[in-house]
Amino acid sequence: MSRFEVVSRLKRNRISTVLAQGKREDGRGLSDYRAIKIRKNALDKAEGSAEVFLGDTRVLAGIKVDKGDPFPDTPNQAVLTVSAEFTPIASPNFEPGPPDEASVELARVVDRGIRSSEAIDLKKYCIIPGKTVYVIFVDLFILNHSGNLIDASALAAMAALQSTKLPKYTLESDKMIFLDAQEPLELRDLPITVSMGKIGNSLIVDPTADEEDVMDTRLTIAINKDGHICAMQKSGSAGLDLEEIKKAINMGREKATEIRKLLMES
Amino acid sequence: MSTNKRRLIVDQVRLDGRKLDEIRPIKIESGVLPNANGSSYLEQGKNKILVGVFGPREMYPKHLADPHRAVLKCRYHMAPFSTDPRRSPAPSRRDTELSMVIRNALEPAIFLERYPRASIAVFAEILEADGSTRCACIVAASVALVDAGIPMRDLVVACAAGKVEGEIVLDLNDIEDKEGTADLPIAYMPKLGKVTLLQMDGVLSPEEFDKALQLALEGGKKIYELQREALKTKYAKQGEKGSIEPI
């Protein structure tokens, strides 16, 4: 960001001026999301998939299912891995190459929400303890970056998991063989991730790329179906006071309910 | 969790004998690495962490220098022998994320704008890990930054709280972190009243979150005193002998 400091400052002034009047550049209120579009079963070859649009932000999530070894410390649990790829087509600022800290953070925060809410019963998808388990790969492909990639990705991941069909299997002398039949992946929860940005004294939901460029701090909160917090991540180099954290939690819970409804209806 | 495991809390007392709202014994020393501009060594229970601060110094690569302020670089790194089983010395995705959140937690405390085009590097080496290492790194790093003579707005304290067997507890150790149902690491600037690191995994109701947050802040206050003590001790020694004693 430093090399674009002058532009950033102008941008910040412009965005702050509008925020001071309780509005945003694109006409939204501070706690409004952009239009959310969820398209499940976007792909044929993946076991599950979904594409999510958050305004112009666009994320495609693909689920691939395989069999494999469990982790040594969780021998009786299926393996869930979440990875994110910031494709260079998504933004002029994305370069091809190994994942940078933003994409590692994104994948880990999405993973944390799913794991903490225990949306997938990993024990149920263990086939032979210590030996063979289902391996569920959640791959998040960022196709256009217009801000708030975390919420779009988390939503795409859940929508894709909802559409996931696991291959049925049979055991032949302790070997897991996939059959040509499927059953739906069972989900016990639908965690929803809500990110908020702090610009000056304002707290805004679903920041755009421009807002992200100038904001002081982001706070991401995942909320489970009971309205409890199931993951949090503060990012960015400014502090938050306790009142702001409280306000963000309330806002996050409110927004999560709305988005979960959208996800269930899609 | 599973029934054949020992219980972690019996009659409000934890496995290591602590009360629910008690932090582990902490030892902090500053000025322990001769070649670093600032350094510290921290023990918190079985956690053993060395932090070295280098800088302000010239930023490399130069094109990444910021004309308005110093760039803070942080590296969180675990020694292969710090955990059981051995971990690969190559940086993991977890290390990448923790290095970033530690940087975010320290940045607001440092007057980076005093050193345009420079860099300040904070290297944390985890020699032995026993839970809440990211918090321990932040505590040690802010002492090392002060030790390096870098002007700070406040010391950054850090402490985790979490939920274990239904109870909200302070300063989780490794087994409590693994078996517990929520972990909430917090970093805080006590004088400025700002939270600079806030992460959570597991599940907490909003009420439990409030309780855990308050507990973590209380723990932070105690750690604040220990940080100040460590710095005072070093300078007292320096006053007596005219130089720092070799370790």
| Helix orientation angle between A242-265 and A149-162, rounded to the nearest 10 degrees | 40
Chain A contact probe: residue of B188, B203, B217 with most A CBs at under 10 A: B203
Q: What pLDDT is attached to residue B37?
A: 94
Q: Does B229 touch chain A (CB under 8 A)?
A: no
Distance CA A242, CA A220 (A): 15
B139 is a domain residue: yes
Instruction: Quickly state the pLDDT bin for A164 (edges 50, 70, 90).
Output: very high
B 149-178 near A (Cβ less than 8 A) = none
Helix axes B93-106, A101-116, angle to 10 degrees: 100
With beta carbons less than 8 A apart as the criterion, state whether B137 and B102 touch: yes
- What is the pLDDT at residue B241? 57
Q: Which residue in A167, A154, A171 sits closest to A221, CA to CA?
A: A154
Task: Please tell me if residue B195 touches chain A, with a CB cutoff of 8 Å.
Answer: yes
Which residue from B199, B196, B215 is spatially nearest to B207, judged by alpha carbons? B215
pLDDT averaged over chain A? 94
Q: What CATH number should be reported for the domain holding residue B194? A: 3.30.230.70
Summarised one tens digit per residue, pLDDT across range A88-122 is: 889 988 888 888 999 999 999 999 999 999 999 99
Q: What is the pLDDT at residue B243?
A: 54
In our burial notation (b when 16+ CB lie closer than 10 A, e otherwise), range B80-93 reads eebeeeebeeeeeb
Whole domain around residue B48: which residue ranges? 16-239
Q: Is residue B87 part of a domain?
A: yes
Q: Is B107 on the interface with A (CB under 8 A)?
A: yes
Asked if pLDDT for residue B247 goes beyond 60, the answer is: no
Residues of B in contact with A219 (CB under 8 A): 198
Q: Name the nearest CA neighbour of B233 among B110, B56, B54, B225.
A: B225
Can you tell me the mean pLDDT for B133-145?
Answer: 98
Whether A104 and B93 lie within 8 Å, measured CB to CB: yes
Residue B247: count of CB within 10 angstroms of its CB: 9
Integer CA distances (angstroms), A209 to A53, A54, A145, A252, B243, in order:
14, 12, 7, 20, 51
Q: Which chain A positions have a beta carbon within 8 Å of B162's beta carbon?
A: none
Residue B162 confidence (pLDDT) above 90: yes
ipTM over the 0.85 cut-off = no
Instruction: Find the CB nearest A235 among B104, B189, B205.
Output: B104
- Summarised one tens digit per residue, pLDDT across range A26-53 is 999 999 999 999 999 999 889 999 999 9
Q: Give the chain A residue whose CA is nearest to the CA of B203.
A: A230
Judged against a pLDDT cut of 70, whether residue A2 lies above it is answered with no
Interchain pair A241, B100: CB under 8 A: no
Which comes out higher in pLDDT, residue B18 or A10? Answer: B18
Mean pLDDT, residues A207-216 taken together: 94
Is the CB of residue B171 less than 8 Å from the CB of residue B24?
yes
Between B65 and A7, the higher pLDDT residue = B65
Nearest by CB to B206, from A233, A238, A249: name it: A249
Q: Long-range contacts made by residues A84-90, C-beta under 8 angstroms, separation at least 24?
A: A84/A110, A84/A139, A84/A140, A84/A141, A84/A142, A84/A153, A85/A139, A85/A140, A85/A141, A85/A142, A86/A142, A86/A145, A86/A149, A87/A141, A87/A142, A87/A143, A89/A143, A89/A144, A90/A58, A90/A142, A90/A143, A90/A144, A90/A145
Q: What does the alpha-carbon distance between residue B160 and residue A232 come to, in Å, rounded to a whole number? A: 13
Beta bridge partners of A62: A49, A139
Whole-structure pTM value: 0.86
Chain A interface test: which of B96, B103, B120, B155 (most A C-beta within 10 Å): B96
Q: Name the one residue in this structure whose structure tokens are 């290591």.
A: B16
pLDDT one-digit tens code per residue, B141-150: 999 999 999 9
Cα torsion B207, B208, B213, B215: sign: positive
Domain assignment present for residue B8? The answer is: no
Domain membership flag for residue B2: no
Query: Is B228 near chain A, with CB under 8 Å?
Result: no
Mean pLDDT over the full length of chain B: 93
**Nearest chain B alpha carbon to A219:** B198
Question: Above 60 in pLDDT, residue B71?
Answer: yes
Strand ranges in chain B using DSSP code E only, listed in sequence order: 9-10, 13-14, 26-30, 38-44, 47-58, 71-78, 118-128, 157-164, 167-170, 182-189, 194-204
Pairing of strands B47-58, B38-44: antiparallel
The reply to whether B244 falls in a domain is: no
Query: Which architecture, in CATH terms, is A2-265?
Result: 2-Layer Sandwich (3.30)
Q: Answer for the pair B20, B40: CB distance below 8 angstroms, yes or no.
A: no
The mean per-residue pLDDT over the stretch A1-23 comes to: 79
Q: Tell me, what's the pLDDT at A50?
A: 97
Total domain count, chain B: 1
Contact A235/B101, CB-based, under 8 Å? yes
The pair of structure tokens assigned to A96 is 């091809």
Contacts of B100 in chain A (CB under 8 A): 101, 105, 235
Place B245 in a pLDDT band, splitting at 50, 70 and 90.
Answer: low
- Position A3 pLDDT exceeds 50: no
- Residue B131: inside a domain: yes
Q: Which residues of A touch B (CB under 8 A)?
A: 2, 5, 72, 99, 101, 104-105, 107-108, 112, 115-117, 219, 224, 226-242, 245-246, 249, 253
- For A218, the closest chain B residue by CA position comes to B198
CA–CA min distance A180, chain B (Å)? 35
The minimal CB distance from B198 to the residues A107, A230, A234 is found for A234
Angle at B198 between CA B192 and CA B203, to 5 degrees: 140
Res B4: pLDDT:
56
Examine residue B129 and state whether it is found in any structural domain, yes or no.
yes
Predicted confidence (pLDDT) per residue in B212-233, tens digit: 999 999 999 999 999 999 999 9
CB contact under 8 A, A101 and B196: no
Q: What are phi and psi of B151, to 5 degrees?
A: -65, 130
Which among B191, B198, B210 is the top mutation candidate for probing chain A, defined by the most A β-carbons within 10 Å of its own β-carbon?
B198
Return the pLDDT at B237.
79
Average pLDDT over residues B62-80: 94
Average pLDDT score over residue span A240-251: 96
Residue A22 DSSP symbol: T
Could you tell me if B215 lies within 8 Å of chain A, comparing CB atoms? no
Q: A133: pLDDT confidence band, cut at 50, 70 and 90?
A: very high
Residues of B (6-65) whose Cβ lies below 8 Å from A: none
CB contact under 8 A, B189 and A227: no
Task: Give B174-234 as a DSSP string.
Answer: HHHHHHSSEEEEEEEETTTTEEEEEEEEEEE-HHHHHHHHHHHHHHHHHHHHHHHHHHHHH
Inter-chain CB proximity B198 and A219 less than 8 Å: yes
Chain A partners of B153 at a C-beta cutoff of 8 Å?
none
- Does any domain span residue B1? no
Find, in chain B, the residue whose alpha carbon is nearest to that of A4: B66
- Give pLDDT, residue B80: 87
Closest CA to B140 of B126, B119, B160, B161: B126
The backbone region for A212, taken as left when phi is positive above 0, alpha when psi lies in -120 to 50, beta otherwise, is: alpha
Option in B107, B189, B195 nearest A237 (CB): B107
Spatial distance between the Cα atoms of A48 and A42, rounded to a whole number of angstroms:
8
pLDDT at position A1: 41
Q: Which residue has the tokens 């947050």?
A: B213
- Determine the distance in angstroms separating the CA of A74 from the nearest CA of chain B, rounded to an integer: 11
The count of CB pairs under 8 A between chains A and B is 96
With pLDDT > 90 as the criterion, what percentage of chain A qualifies? 86
The CA distance from A41 to the nearest CA of chain B, in Å, is: 29
